[in-house]
Structure 1
Amino acid sequence: MKKILLISISAILLFLVGCTATKPLEEEQTISAERIVKRLEANRRKIKSFVGKGTIFVITKELNTRSSFQVEIKRPDSLKVSFFGPFGIDLAYSLISQKDFQFYDVINNKYYKGKVRPGIIKDLMKINVPYDELMDAVTGSVNLT
């Protein structure tokens, strides 16, 4: 009798547990494009400083090497990029603000400074990008305004 009662109670409990309601499904939200743009812009404005490190690989017929670099940003003010060779040897430093730039070529012991003008970043760093777009690209943000 005890065995039948135990089996009956177990079966009833199993039935009750098996019949519980499922978790409610969350409804998908549709977010407007304007709201997404506002969120991205808010995130872009929150970035005030940034430090990043990376490695550049240069592979050509004549040369197969790598260089490491460090990027430091203080928004909206300045961008500093340091380049290092093998074993951490200093290669070059550049400091670019909205108005001025400084570049030091350690290998050739040459120092350049001047006013930021269109094309100066291309001349110094071999990339044709305006200052504001460079700041956004390095911090991983998108200017949608």
Structure 2
Amino acid sequence: MNDILTSMLISIGPFVALLLIGLTFGTLAQRRHLAQLDQREAELGDFMLTTLEHAPGRHGALVTGSTVVAFDFFRRIAILLRKIIGGRFRMHETMMMRARREAMLRMAESAKAQGAVAVHNIRLVSSNLGNSGSAMGGCEVVAYGTAVWI
């Protein structure tokens, strides 16, 4: 009995260890990205972003920002386990929130670099890349709107 348990630990142990290491480093990278998003949003604090179709100012060009976020192997395994158990995909929700914020920031930074004072009529579009069974999995988020100059 002890030999069977030892054999199982030897065969499963490295996988579990790699899974934990991957989740740990993935979580740390995610926290760093969220901190960077907070900092960049604070820097754009006075820049107006709205969903209004018509706003005062001289309307200019279409501005866009997009990002692609891939699912890492370890989070994909956690999502597959969650599918079996059921419930909310909190890891996926966090990833989508980061992707939306990143796309919005890229759009706003692009508009500000062009001298705009605001972006109106903002829309967000997302799409899945691959599926959970494919080698590639993730999402793309595109933010677009109308840059406004005074």
TM-score (norm 1): 0.23
Greater Rg over alpha carbons, structure: 1
Flag the structure with more relative contact order, 1 or 2, with Cα contacts below 8 A and sequence separation at least 6.
2
Higher relative strand content? 1
Q: Which is richer in helix? A: 2
Q: Normalization by structure 2: what TM-score? A: 0.23
